[in-house]
Amino acid sequence: MIAARGLSIRTGAGHAAVRSADLAIRPGERLGVVGESGSGKTLLALAMIGMVPEGLQVSGEIAVGGTVVAPGDEAAWQRLRAREVAMIFQEPMSALNPLARVGDTIAEPLMVHRGLTRSAARAQARELLEETGIPQPERRLDQYPHELSGGQRQRVLIALALACDPALLIADEPTTALDAAVALRITDLLVRLARERRMALLFISHDLAAVARTTEAMLVMYGGDIVERGATDRVLADPAHPYTKGLIAARPSLAQRGRRRLPTIPGTVPPLEALAEGCRFAGRCPVELPRCVHLRPAATATASGSAACHLLGAAP
């Protein structure tokens, strides 16, 4: 069980990039986080592995397997990374050390954390590569990243993340840089691995289809707030928050194609300092109330989970 309570991340100027977020992931659970760029979803993910960039202040409580870890306790996080929480990133092209053989990269955490010998770590690296379904795993061990395709590199990164058998794998936009067919295979691989290993998966994406395919539960983020959460299929079928509704309506589907213009959410995500103190969506929301600008809505139970919107609290 890995959980965050009241997690806030502020910039040096004091603007909140993430506002008191709560989340909990049970062993084997696959949780999606959806939002546009600037919604705070990547920062939230980085906080769960203790890697929020320097210069940002993290407050709140993060508990990994029952023990509370201070956000800035680098030594404690270093012991937890790879063994409890592992992470893969958006850009497989640049996320691997270009000067190291793939086999050595995967073997390194095994030697450091598990004290394995070089040959034992290498044998394990081969098994991990095989598990990710990369063709010719034996041959890959001695190859360099520049000799692999994007999809193959992402599989190598997944093998690296799995090396020390983590309880939670965070995947931050793992398929954005890949072409569509490869992206599908990678998301399916993540689901299969999470099931087989009873490993929790935190799947960060702006792509609703990928989240639908991969996760059981989901969070929707906007401007640093979690605005809606619930079971993935039910949130997508029956969204409660105006932002979630807009997001789903703006998604192209095959049935609609060519028939009418795609609805869009008017405007773009404003910069942090321009966000409203109340509901972050105020200003772009089509059904805004006067109090939305200054009063932050509390989470209210909905048919599919919960959502933070004033329209849901009071009778409409």
Partner 1 sequence: MSYFLVRRGIGFVLTLIAVSVVVFAVMNVLPGDPSLTILGIDSTEEARAALRERLGLDEPVVSRYLAWTFGALRGEFGTSYAFDVPVAELIAERLPMTLSLAISGMALTVVLALVLGIAAAARHGGPGDWAIMLFSQLGIAVPAFWLSMLLVLLFAVHLRWLPPGGFPGWGDPLAAARALVLPTVALALVQSAVLARVTRSSVLEVMRLDFVRTARASGLPRARVLWRHVLPNALVPIVTIVGLQFAGLVTGTIVIENVFYLPGLGRLLFQSIANRDLVTVQALVMLFAAIVVTANFLVDIAYLLIDPRLRGARA
Binding site for partner 1 (CB under 8 A): 49, 51, 74, 78-83, 86-87, 89, 91, 94-100, 108-109, 112-113, 144, 146, 157, 160-161, 163-164
Q: Residue 126 or 284: which CB sits closer to partner 1? A: 126
The least CB distance from residue 200 to partner 1, in Å, is 16
- How far apart (Å, rounded) are the C-alpha atoms in residues 109 and 118? 11
Report the alpha-carbon distance of residue 17 to residue 55 in Å, rounded.
Answer: 12
Closer residue to partner 1 (CB): 80 or 204: 80
* Residue number with CB closer to partner 1 (129 or 157): 157
142-164 core/surface letters (b: 16 or more CB in 10 A; e: else): eeebeebebbbbbbbbbbbbbbb
Lookup result for tokens 């990547």: 42
Least distance from partner 1 to the Cβ atom of residue 184, Å: 23
Distance, in Å, from the CA atom of 13 to the CA atom of 165, rounded to the nearest integer, reads 39
In the complex, the smallest distance separating the C-beta of residue 132 from partner 1, rounded to whole angstroms, is 16
For the stretch 143-147, contacts whose Cβ atoms lie closer than 8 Å and that sit 24 or more positions apart, written own/partner, are: 143/101, 143/102, 144/98, 144/99, 144/100, 144/101, 144/102, 145/96, 145/97, 145/98, 145/102, 146/98
> Shortest distance, CB of residue 77 to partner 1, whole angstroms?
8
In the bound state with partner 1, the residue whose beta carbon lies nearer, of 103 and 246, is 103
CA distance 245 to 312: 14
Q: Give min distance, CB of 32 to partner 1, in A.
A: 20
Containing H/E element for 147?
Answer: none
Which H/E stretch holds residue 238? none
Judged by beta carbon, residue 58 or residue 96, the one nearer partner 1 is 96
Q: Which is nearer to partner 1, 95 or 289 (CB)?
A: 95
Beta-sheet strands, E only, within 113-206: 168-172, 200-205
Rounded least distance, CB 109 to partner 1, Å: 4
